[in-house]
Structure 1
Amino acid sequence: QIDQDGLTLPERTLYLGQDEESEKILAAYRVFMERLLTLLGAEEVEQKAQEILKLEQHLANITVSEYDDVRRDVGSMYHKLTLAELQRITPTLKWKRLLDRIFHDNFSEEEEVVLLATDYMHKVSDLIRVTPSRILHNYMLWRIVVVLSEHLSTPFRDAIHELSKEMEGNEKQLERGKICLSQANKHFGMALGALFVEEHFSSASKAKVQQLVEDIKYILDQRLDELDWMDEETRRAARAKLRYMMVMIGYPDFLLKPEAIDKDPALHSLGAGISPDVAVSPQFEVDEKTYFKNILNSIAFGIRLSVKKIRQEVDKSAWLLPPQALNAYYLPNKNQMVFPAGILQPTLYDPEFPQSLNYGGIGTIIGHELTHGYDDWGGQYDRHGNLVHWWTERSYSKFLKKAQCIVNLYDNFTVYNQRVNGKHTLGENIADMGGLKLAYYAYQKWVREHGPEHPLHHMKYTHDQLFFIAFAQNWRIKRQSQSIYLQVLTDKHAPAYYRVLGSVSQFEEFGRVFHCPKNSPMNPVHKCSVW
C-alpha cells in the first residue's frame, strides 16, 4: 500500500504560514532544524535548513489534507495497479529496485500494489526530477535525524523540547526515568504487558467486561430495528456486520504463558531469563551499555518482522497495542474492536464500582468503538472488513443528511477563538453520540434485570445522573492553550469540552435526568441523531 508522506510537522497548513500561530510554529521549526544540523557538525547550516524546509513546503503544497473529502472517501482513493503501471505514473522512482531491496525478493512488473494518492505520487515524481540530488540526500538524512534525535544526548533533547514548548506549551521535559520507561514500553510492550496483566487485570475482570460488551452489542441490535431512516436491506447488512464483529479484551492469551514470551524474540524483554548484562535472541541484541544501538537494533528488528509478512494472510488476532495501553480502537478493515487491560482500570472501570459508573465510564467507550463500525469512515467496510458499499443509496443518502446535522452542530463550537471543524471531527462525534446512547440503554437493561442500585451515601446524584457524570469525567483533561491550536488543526476528535456537551445536549435522556428546560442549551428542541 503506497500513500502520501514526507512532512515533519503534523499538518500541511503549518508550512504555509496562513495565520500568526502557524508562522510562530514554522519559525520555531526553522530554529530547531538549524540547532540539530549544528549539533551534527554540518556546514552552511542556514542554507541547508532553508533548502530542506523549501522542499518540505513544496511537499506540503501537493499533499492533500487528511480531512479533505477526497481522503475521507476510501473507495475513491483506492487504486489497485501493477508495478509497471505505477512506474509509468512516477517515472523518476525505481519501484522494482526499491521493493526488491526492501523485501529481498524479485518482484514481477505485474505484481499488484494499492496506490492511495495517485495525484500526489505523480507530482512528487516531478518534484524529485527537478530537485538537485544534494538537497534530496540532505532531506532524507534530515528525516532520519528527526526520528532518532530524541535518543541522543541532552543538547538534542533540549532542542526537541524547545520546539515542543512552542507547539504545545510543554514547560517541563520528561524526567529521564519516565523516558526510559516509555522506551521500554515502546520496544518491549508485550513483555511488560505480561507483568502488568499479572498485577492489574484478572480473568474474572475479563469475563465481566466481555458481558458488558455483549450487553452494548445487544442494544445496538435493538436500535437497528428502531431506525426509521434505514431500509430493510441495509438493516440486514448492518446486523450482519455486528454479528461478525471480533472483540478482543484485556490481553492476548499467550501472555499468561511466560515460556512463550521467553522463546519469542518479537516479545523478548531485557533480562527475561537471560543474563542482565546482555539479552540476546537469534535476531535482536540488547546491551545495557549501548542505548542508542539498542534502539537501532529494535527498529531494524521491527522492519524485518514487517517484511516477513509480505504475501502472508492477515492475522486478525494480532494486537496493535500492548495490554497496558490506555486506549481502545476499532479497525474497519478487520471489523475488530480491541480493549486493552490498561483502559479497563479505574476510573473508567472497576468490578467493585456501581454499574452506573462502569456503564458511564468504559461502557460509553465500548459503545464509541462499536459505533465506529457505522460512522462515515468505518461504514465504508463490510462485515468481513472489505471495502464494500453495503448501504442502499436511499439509506446512505438519509445517513449523510443526519450526519450533516452533526457537522453543523460542531461547526458552531469555538475554543480560544478557533472554530471546531465539524467535518474533520464527524466520525468521532458520531461515535461519541452513539456510544453514549448505547451505553445508557445498556445500563437501563442491567437495572431492569438486576434491580435499581442503592443510592450512594452523602451523594445528591441519582445513578442515572452518575452515569452521565462518569461519561463527562472520561474526557477531563488539562491542556495548554498552544496545544488547543494544534488539536483543532490536526486532531480528528473535537476538544474534550465539546465531546461532552455536544453529545449530552443531543440526547433526550440527559435532559430528562437533569430536568433541563425544553429548548435550553442542554436540551434543544431539534436534536441531531444518527444511531
Structure 2
Amino acid sequence: LQLGTGAKKRRGGLPRWSRREVCLLSGLVFAAGLCVILTCMLVLKYLAAEGDSYCLEGCQEKKAFLRASRFLSANMDATIDPCQDFYSFACGGWLRRHGIPEDKLVYGTIGAIAEQNEAKLRALLSRPVRRRAPGSAEGRGSGGWDAPPGRGDLNELLYKTQGVYSAAVLFSLTVSLDERNTSRYVIRDGLTLPERTLYLGQDEESEKILAAYRVFMERLLTLLGAEHVEQKAQEILQLEQHLANITVSEYDDVRRDVSSMYHKVTLGELQRITPTLKWKRLLDRIFHDNFSEEEEVVLLATDYMHKVSDLIRVTPSRILHNYMLWRIVVVLSEHLSTPFRDAIHELSKEMEGNEKQLELGKICLSQANKHFGMALGALFVEEHFSSASKAKVQQLVEDIKYILDQRLDELDWMDEETRRAARAKLRYMMVMIRDPVLKPEAIDKEYEFEVDEKTYFKNILNSIAFSIRLSVKKIRQEVDKSAWLLPPQALNAYYLPNKNQMVFPAGILQPTLYDPEFPQSLNYGGIGTIIGHELTHGYDDWGGQYDRHGNLVHWWTERSYSKFLKKAQCIVNLYDNFTVYNQRVNGKHTLGENIADMGGLKLAYYAYQKWVREHGPEHPLHHLKYTHDQLFFIAFAQNWCIKRRSQSIYLQVLTDKHAPEHYRVLGSVSQFEEFGRVFHCPKNSPMNPAHK
C-alpha cells in the first residue's frame, strides 16, 4: 500500500522541495537558532545575577584583597632581608619606581593620597555653581597696600601688621585657650620664629640659604619700587638675626617645658615689662575693646619680651618700618602677580630644590582650601566618606583605646596614682572623626565676607580681615572644645593637648591608609598606627604636661615622672645615633614624635590581635607569602615610603619634629619585640637588638 500525495520524486526516491518550502524551512531554522541564542543569553544573565549576589560576600572581598596584594607587592623589595633593613624591604619597590614630581619637594605614598584627594576636590569645584541669595557684604574691604607712616607711632605699624594683615612681627599675638584654665580664652603673646638656627648661618648650608633669602628680599623690594634695596635688605636681615639671637631655641629644654614658658601677667605688668610699646592702645584697637589694666595676658617668653623692648629702643624707626612692611610683603606676596611668584619659586629652588612652580590651577585649589576649607570639606565628605566607614573607624579607635587602658597595668615604672590619672585622661579624651557635622547655616557664618570673582587679591584681604574679626571675638566667648582646627578634607590627623582631643578628618581616612574593603591587618597597620600615634601624644613629653581637661597641670607623681624621663632618654640616645646625608638626627627635638611612633605601633598591633581573637583569622592575600601579622608591619612601614630632595632633607633634620621616615620605621620596629618574633629575626640582628 502506497501512502502519499502523489508528489514528484527526485532520483534516489527523495521528494523535490519547492522554492517556497525551502524559504519556509530556512526561516524556521533561523527562528529556532535565534530562540536558542536568546535563551542562552537569558540563562547567562540569570547566572551572572546570581553570581553578583554571591559576589557581594565572596568576589568583592577577593577583588579588594587582590588590589591590596598588588599595592603591597609593588612597593616591596623582597630581595632585602627584613631583619637587616625593614624600611628598604617594605619600600624598596616604591622608591625604585617613583621619582619626585617637578613641583614637589617630597613625594610618597601619602603624597599619592593627596593627589587623589586633590582630584576629587577639583571635580567638586568644577561643578556648576548653584547660586542662592547674594553673598554677605559684612566683610569690609581692606583696600590696597596701607603703607605704615615713616617715623612716629610704632603702635600704628604694629596694628597694621598684626591687626590688619595678620603678619607676626617682633612677637606673636593670638587669642588662645588659657592653658591653665581651658574653659576660657586669653590673649597670648609669644615668639615669632619657629627655629632660629637658619638665621644665624652656623654652617655652609645655612649660609647658602641666608644668601638666597637676601637675594629674594632684594628682588621683592625692587618689584615694590624701593630704592637702595641692598641696604634695606641688609638692615632687615640684621634685625631678624638680632631677633633670632634672643629667641629660645626649640632644642632648648626650657622651650619644651610649657610650664616654665607660661607666665600670666596683667596688662599693666606687661606694660612695665615692655615699656617701648603702648599695649593698651594697641590691644584696644585690634580687639575693638576697652581693656582695663587688670586684663590678663599670657606671656610665653618673658625674657624674650624684655629683650624685644630693648631692641626696639635701640633700632632706628626707619629700619623698624621697613622690617614690618617686609613682613606684610612676605605674607601677601604669594597672592600678587607672576614676578612675585617667580621670586618665591627661586627661593624655594635654592632652599629646597623645588624644580617647578605649582600650576595656577593647583594654587587656586590650595587657596580655596585655605580660605573656604569647611565649605569645601562639607562637599568632600558628602561625596567621598560614608557613615558606615565612619562607624568602622570609630570601632578601630575604641579598640586601640581599650588596648592602652589594658597596657597601663603592664607599665611597672608607673605607680598607681599616676596610672589612675592616665586612665582618667583616656576616658575624657574626645575623638572627632570625619567632619565636625556643621549645618549649612553654620558654614555660611564662617564665610560672611565679600567675594568678587573679578578681584582675587581683594578677596584674600577680605578673608584675612574676617578671620581676624572671628579670632578677636573669641576673647569674650565661651570655649567650644568640639571646634576643629583643620577642615574635613585635610590629609592629616592631630592631637590637641589643651583640648585633650584627637581628630581624624575624612581626608586621611582614604585608601591606602584606610580602605573598608582591605584586610584589617592593613587597616590596623595603616591608619591604626596613626590613630595609636595620636593617642600616645597625650602621654609624651609634651602632651603629658596636660591633664584630662586639657589644663597645664602636672598629674604625674615625681617618682613616675622621673622614671618616664629616664626611659625617654633612651629613645633620645637611640635617635641621636641615626644620620642622614652626614647630618645627625636630633633625638631630643624629635622625642615626642618618636614616642608617638613607637607607642602607636604597639597599640595598633595589640588592637589587631584583639580583632583577630573576636572575628577569627583573615583569609590570606593571594600571591603574597606573608602572614597577616607580617602584613601589619609592612603596611605600617609603607605609610612612610617617601622620597625627598637632598636640599629639603637638610631643612627637615634641622626644623622638623619628626625623624626622617627611614628612621621612623627602623626606630619603631627595632624596639618592638613582637616584630622580631613575627619576622623570625635573629637576636642582635639590626631589627632585633638584644637591648630594647
Per the TM superposition, whether the score is higher than 0.5 is yes
Q: CA deviation at 1:67?
A: 2.5
Shifted more, 255-264 versus 10-19: the winner is 255-264
Q: CA deviation at 1:10?
A: 5.4
**Corresponding residue for residue 483 of structure 1:** 648
Distance in 2 (CA, whole Å) between partners of 1:292 and 1:432 is 41
Distance in 1 (CA, whole Å) between partners of 2:187 and 2:684 is 47
What does the per-residue CA deviation read over 1:434-458, in whole Å, with 9 as the maximum and x for residues that have no partner?
0000000000000000000011111
Is the CA contact 1:428–1:493 (under 8 Å) kept in the aligned structure 2?
yes
Tell me the secondary structure at the aligned position of residue 685 of structure 2.
coil
Q: CA deviation at 1:255?
A: 4.4
- The ranges of structure 1 where at least 4 consecutive aligned residues each deviate by more than 3 angstroms after the TM superposition are 2-10, 253-264
Q: CA deviation at 1:3?
A: 10
Q: CA deviation at 1:14?
A: 1.3
CA pair 236-297 structure 1, distance change in 2 beyond 3 A? same
From 654, 657, 664, the equivalent of 1:492 is 657
Q: CA deviation at 1:259?
A: 5.2
Q: CA deviation at 1:15?
A: 1.5
Tell me the secondary structure at the aligned position of residue 547 of structure 2.
coil
Shifted more, 166-175 versus 32-41: the winner is 166-175
From 174, 194, 204, the equivalent of 2:388 is 204
Tell me the secondary structure at the aligned position of residue 345 of structure 1.
coil
Is the CA contact 1:7–1:60 (under 8 Å) kept in the aligned structure 2?
no
TM-score by length of 2: 0.72
Distance in 1 (CA, whole Å) between partners of 2:303 and 2:188 is 10
CA pair 103-6 structure 1, distance change in 2 beyond 3 A? closer
What does the per-residue CA deviation read over 1:328-358, in whole Å, with 9 as the maximum and x for residues that have no partner?
0000001000000000001100110100000
Distance in 2 (CA, whole Å) between partners of 1:71 and 1:6 is 11
Q: CA deviation at 1:313?
A: 2.2
Distance in 2 (CA, whole Å) between partners of 1:229 and 1:255 is 41
**Corresponding residue for residue 278 of structure 1:** none
Distance in 2 (CA, whole Å) between partners of 1:21 and 1:157 is 24
Distance in 2 (CA, whole Å) between partners of 1:309 and 1:355 is 42
Is the CA contact 2:400–2:603 (under 8 Å) kept in the aligned structure 1?
yes
What does the per-residue CA deviation read over 1:386-412, in whole Å, with 9 as the maximum and x for residues that have no partner?
111000000000000000000000000
Is the CA contact 1:357–1:470 (under 8 Å) kept in the aligned structure 2?
yes
Distance in 2 (CA, whole Å) between partners of 1:85 and 1:25 is 39
**Corresponding residue for residue 86 of structure 1:** 270
Is the CA contact 1:6–1:56 (under 8 Å) kept in the aligned structure 2?
no
What does the per-residue CA deviation read over 1:47-66, in whole Å, with 9 as the maximum and x for residues that have no partner?
11111011001101101112
Is the CA contact 1:4–1:121 (under 8 Å) kept in the aligned structure 2?
no
**Corresponding residue for residue 686 of structure 2:** 521
Is the CA contact 2:597–2:668 (under 8 Å) kept in the aligned structure 1?
yes
Is the CA contact 2:190–2:299 (under 8 Å) kept in the aligned structure 1?
no
Is the CA contact 1:8–1:143 (under 8 Å) kept in the aligned structure 2?
no
* Structure 1 residue 133 corresponds to structure 2 residue 285: no
Tell me the secondary structure at the aligned position of residue 188 of structure 2.
coil
Is the CA contact 1:325–1:341 (under 8 Å) kept in the aligned structure 2?
yes
Tell me the secondary structure at the aligned position of residue 475 of structure 2.
coil
Tell me the secondary structure at the aligned position of residue 139 of structure 1.
helix
* Structure 1 residue 121 corresponds to structure 2 residue 305: yes
Is the CA contact 2:265–2:297 (under 8 Å) kept in the aligned structure 1?
yes
Q: CA deviation at 1:461?
A: 1.2
Tell me the secondary structure at the aligned position of residue 217 of structure 2.
helix
Distance in 1 (CA, whole Å) between partners of 2:545 and 2:440 is 40
Distance in 1 (CA, whole Å) between partners of 2:501 and 2:436 is 19
Is the CA contact 1:287–1:294 (under 8 Å) kept in the aligned structure 2?
yes
Shifted more, 214-223 versus 103-112: the winner is 103-112
Distance in 2 (CA, whole Å) between partners of 1:261 and 1:60 is 40
Q: CA deviation at 1:11?
A: 2.8
Is the CA contact 1:254–1:260 (under 8 Å) kept in the aligned structure 2?
no
Is the CA contact 1:322–1:340 (under 8 Å) kept in the aligned structure 2?
yes
Q: CA deviation at 1:478?
A: 1.5
What does the per-residue CA deviation read over 1:175-225, in whole Å, with 9 as the maximum and x for residues that have no partner?
100000000010000110011001110111111100100000000000100
Is the CA contact 2:191–2:301 (under 8 Å) kept in the aligned structure 1?
no
Is the CA contact 2:194–2:250 (under 8 Å) kept in the aligned structure 1?
no
Is the CA contact 2:187–2:296 (under 8 Å) kept in the aligned structure 1?
no
Q: CA deviation at 1:312?
A: 1.8
Distance in 2 (CA, whole Å) between partners of 1:34 and 1:246 is 48
Is the CA contact 2:353–2:645 (under 8 Å) kept in the aligned structure 1?
yes
Instruction: Structure 1: give runs of 5+ residues left out of the alignment.
Output: 265-282
CA pair 196-105 structure 1, distance change in 2 beyond 3 A? same
Is the CA contact 1:82–1:112 (under 8 Å) kept in the aligned structure 2?
yes
Structure showing greater radius of gyration is: 2
Shifted more, 473-482 versus 367-376: the winner is 473-482
Is the CA contact 1:7–1:59 (under 8 Å) kept in the aligned structure 2?
no
**Corresponding residue for residue 438 of structure 2:** 256
CA pair 32-263 structure 1, distance change in 2 beyond 3 A? closer
Q: CA deviation at 1:167?
A: 1.1
Instruction: Structure 2: give runs of 5+ residues left out of the alignment.
Output: 1-185
Tell me the secondary structure at the aligned position of residue 4 of structure 1.
strand
Distance in 2 (CA, whole Å) between partners of 1:502 and 1:394 is 27
Identity in percent: 96
Is the CA contact 1:34–1:45 (under 8 Å) kept in the aligned structure 2?
yes
Tell me the secondary structure at the aligned position of residue 314 of structure 1.
coil
Q: CA deviation at 1:431?
A: 0.2
Q: CA deviation at 1:419?
A: 0.1
Tell me the secondary structure at the aligned position of residue 478 of structure 1.
strand
Is the CA contact 1:255–1:261 (under 8 Å) kept in the aligned structure 2?
no
Is the CA contact 2:583–2:653 (under 8 Å) kept in the aligned structure 1?
yes
Q: Which has the higher contact order (CA 8 A, sep 6+)?
A: 2
Q: CA deviation at 1:261?
A: 3.3
Is the CA contact 1:4–1:120 (under 8 Å) kept in the aligned structure 2?
no
CA pair 343-243 structure 1, distance change in 2 beyond 3 A? same
Distance in 2 (CA, whole Å) between partners of 1:244 and 1:523 is 36
TM-score by length of 1: 0.93
